[in-house]
Amino acid sequence: MCQTCGCVVTGEVTIDGAVLDAEMAHSHFHHPNQAHTYTHNHQHSHYHHHLHHNHLHHPDHAYAHTEHVHDTRGVTATISDRSDTGTTIQPRTLTIAQGILNKNDRLAERNRGYFQAKGLLVLNVVSSPGSGKTALLERLLQDWPQQGEQQRGVGVIVGDLETDNDAQRLRTAGDAIVQITTGTACHLEAEMIAQAAQKLDLDQLELLVIENVGNLVCPAAYDLGEDLRIVLLSVTEGEDKPLKYAPMFKTADAIVINKIDIAVAVGFDRDRAIANLHKVAPQAPIFEVSARTGTGLEAWYAYLQGQRERKATTIMGS
């Protein structure tokens, strides 16, 4: 879990108020001074590792006892105390060459397969805080049923550090809404999405939108299993945002410029912004919209419909 810039764990991840299932959670690290809920059914102190779920304890107690059998939750591990051997081991190099985000990426692929089996198009919407992700999704929830004649609806997984304000807002426009409260984490991870998706009846949906935590840095690194990454930029943020946060914009499948209704008032230099976007993210189509007034949304919806149909064709053909 990301503790942002601090090293002290201060929060916990919740999904619609329920704590993220630790048994499903990814491998994690316990600080020596952090309380944990793992029950030890033995009395002596020792250093141990639980290989069955890649979970390491780093207690500050001594490492001095002989071989023993340690039974936790039905898993029996025999651990030898190597200090009894008396041999000196020479330093050696272990080549690992393993991606640090491998676990997240595997879970993301699992999500992707699961969503594909459900026939869902999945968007991961990322942007700075306050650029209008929630407003854009409110409109999408209201407008989507009028787009075409499909039967299924739109679901949203919302990520924020605190409060379920966004989920409450979105629930006035739709009913398939799940809030992930990350506590201190500055981004969503594939594991959170896997669990949040369980709260939704995916068979009733054709579009699932993940509203990521407002942050143009960290979410770029985490694949959630989405089909499309949508980067939102609002006119109040400055034309050079794509240059300043290039890694995020380079991951965009599409870019939405929001709040164009106030572009003149804030002195937004449209040509320069679009030129910067084209230079940094030449792969991404750009949609200029106002979620507030509705300007430009038709082209945006047409793009999403096209992507949905393309995906449906791909699934049928596979």
Write out the residues near another protein by the rule CB under 8 A: 1-7, 26-29, 31-32, 49, 51, 54, 56, 58-60, 82-83, 89-101, 103, 185-187, 215, 217-218, 220-221, 243, 246-248, 250, 278-280, 282-283
Per the listing, tokens 């369980």 go with 198
Q: Which is nearer to another protein, 54 or 293 (CB)?
A: 54
Q: How many angstroms separate the Cα of 57 from the Cα of each of 69, 96, 178, 258?
A: 17, 21, 32, 47
Sequence-distant (6+) residues with CB within 8 A of 199 are: 15, 16, 178
As a whole number of Å, the end-to-end CA separation of the chain is: 36
CB of 296 to another protein, least distance (A): 24
Q: Which residues on neighbouring strands pair with residue 255, listed in sequence order?
A: 231, 286
Q: Which is nearer to another protein, 41 or 98 (CB)?
A: 98
CB of 88 to another protein, least distance (A): 8
Q: Which is nearer to another protein, 66 or 146 (CB)?
A: 66
CB of 273 to another protein, least distance (A): 15
Rounded-to-integer distance, Cα 169 and Cα 134, Å? 8
CB of 180 to another protein, least distance (A): 16
CB of 276 to another protein, least distance (A): 9
Q: Which is nearer to another protein, 70 or 278 (CB)?
A: 278
Q: Which is nearer to another protein, 181 or 290 (CB)?
A: 181
CB of 146 to another protein, least distance (A): 34
Q: For residues 222 and 212, is the Cβ–Cβ distance under 8 A?
A: no
Q: Which is nearer to another protein, 3 or 150 (CB)?
A: 3
CB of 255 to another protein, least distance (A): 13
Q: Spell 101-116 as b/e; 16+ CB within 10 A means b.
A: eebbeebbeebbebbb
Q: Which residues on neighbouring strands pair with residue 258, listed in sequence order?
A: 234
Q: Which is nearer to another protein, 161 or 312 (CB)?
A: 161
Rounded-to-integer distance, Cα 12 and Cα 149, Å? 41
Q: For residues 205 and 155, is the Cβ–Cβ distance under 8 A?
A: yes
Rounded-to-integer distance, Cα 245 and Cα 280, Å? 10
How buried is 68 (Cβ within 10 angstroms: 0-12 exposed, 13-18 middle, 19+ buried)? middle
Q: Which is nearer to another protein, 17 or 91 (CB)?
A: 91
CB of 45 to another protein, least distance (A): 14
Spatial CA neighbour of 226 closest among 135, 290, 301, 156: 156
